[in-house]
């Protein structure tokens, strides 16, 4: 046991340096007054008060939550049928389909988002296709729809893979038992397949919602700076305005929101699996 404990030391040190230390510095900066040094500083809650008392910041937070929820719902509605189809396919076909889902993720997300600028821009491929149906004048780029499309495109593989993994692990003898008991395909799906796939659905929701609510370069590129989300606000405070303390406070607020959401998701998952709440 001691040898295994010693093997874990490098990972503990790495986690402390790369995760805990940066988070601790951000938390400390969020309670510091602007211009204070790390050596000597005075605590203040002004940055948190500034965020929650300014309606513009609250609107940005609400907008971020709404776009993250929309992204998650669309990914779930589109991803579940795809994952179900993959899980019901032959093993060789499954491997090919999973490969097709994962191949785009091998390309940098920034590059993939840039590609959508060319597709959605004026005179682009999509606008030309819409022009065939008399919709060529519709503005596609730098809209909420473009931001939503970019987020769904980038994050839907996480939803599909999680649900597919859950469906593949399912005991298929239960489906045969349901058929033997006279259940039709709809009843079998509703009473067996769907409940057993809930853990994958919950994991998929988590992996889509958390990056969607904090994304900054997708709305920056596809929204053209006109669709400002909380991630853009944090980036703006650190890089453009230079108010690291206020930016750190916003980061801590988002970290707390995400932790609360993860705790809620964990409770739902435990309840679904019959776990006892402490």
Q: Evaluate if residue 227 carries a pLDDT over 60.
A: yes
The reported pLDDT for the residue numbered 264 is: 84
CATH number at residue 144: 1.10.3720.10
The reply to whether 277 falls in a domain is no
The reply to whether 257 falls in a domain is yes
The reply to whether 67 falls in a domain is yes
DSSP state of 142: S
The reply to whether 12 falls in a domain is no
Tally of structural domains, the chain:
1
The reply to whether 101 falls in a domain is yes
The reply to whether 50 falls in a domain is no
At a CB cut-off of 8 Å and minimum separation 6, what does 76 contact?
A: 159, 201, 204, 205, 208
The model's pTM is 0.86
The reply to whether 33 falls in a domain is no
Q: Evaluate if residue 276 carries a pLDDT over 50.
A: no
When pLDDT is cut at 50, 70 and 90, the band that residue 36 belongs to is low
Both tokens of 153, joined, read 């495109």
Sign for the pseudo-dihedral over CA of 234, 237, 242, 248: negative
**Which range marks the domain in which residue 63 is found?**
55-272
Instruction: Give dist(CA 218, CA 231) in Å, integer.
Output: 10
Q: What value, to the nearest 5°, has the Cα angle with vertex 200 and ends 115 and 262?
A: 85
The reported pLDDT for the residue numbered 278 is: 41
The reply to whether 144 falls in a domain is yes
The reported pLDDT for the residue numbered 141 is: 86
Instruction: Give dist(CA 8, CA 218) in Å, integer.
Output: 37
Write the CA distances from 264 to 257, 259, 277, integer angstroms: 11, 9, 12
């Amino acid at each position: 046991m001691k040898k295994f404990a010693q093997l874990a030391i490098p990972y503990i040190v790495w986690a402390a340096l790369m995760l805990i230390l940066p988070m601790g510095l951000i938390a400390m900066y969020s309670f510091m007054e602007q211009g204070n040094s790390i050596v000597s500083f005075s605590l203040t809650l002004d940055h948190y008060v500034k965020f929650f008392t300014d309606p513009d910041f609250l609107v940005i937070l609400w907008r971020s939550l709404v776009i993250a929820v929309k992204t998650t719902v669309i990914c779930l509605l589109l991803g579940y049928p795809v994952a179900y189809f993959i899980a019901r396919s032959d093993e060789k076909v499954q491997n090919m389909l999973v490969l097709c889902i994962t191949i785009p993720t091998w390309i940098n997300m920034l590059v993939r988002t840039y590609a959508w600028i060319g597709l959605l821009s004026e005179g682009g491929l999509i606008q030309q296709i819409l022009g065939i149906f008399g919709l060529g004048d519709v503005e596609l780029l730098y809209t909420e729809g473009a931001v939503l499309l970019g987020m769904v495109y980038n994050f839907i593989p996480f939803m599909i893979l999680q649900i597919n993994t859950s469906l593949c692990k399912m005991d298929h003898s239960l489906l045969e038992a349901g058929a033997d008991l006279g259940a039709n395909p709809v009843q079998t799906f509703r009473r067996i397949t769907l409940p057993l796939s809930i853990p994958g659905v919950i994991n998929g929701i988590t992996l889509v919602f958390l990056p969607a609510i904090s994304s900054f370069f997708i709305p920056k590129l596809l929204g053209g700076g006109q669709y400002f989300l909380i991630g853009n606000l944090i980036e703006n405070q650190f890089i453009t305005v230079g108010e690291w303390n206020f930016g750190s406070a916003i980061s801590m607020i988002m970290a707390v929101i995400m932790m609360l959401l993860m705790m809620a998701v964990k409770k739902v998952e435990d309840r679904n699996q019959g776990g006892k709440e402490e």
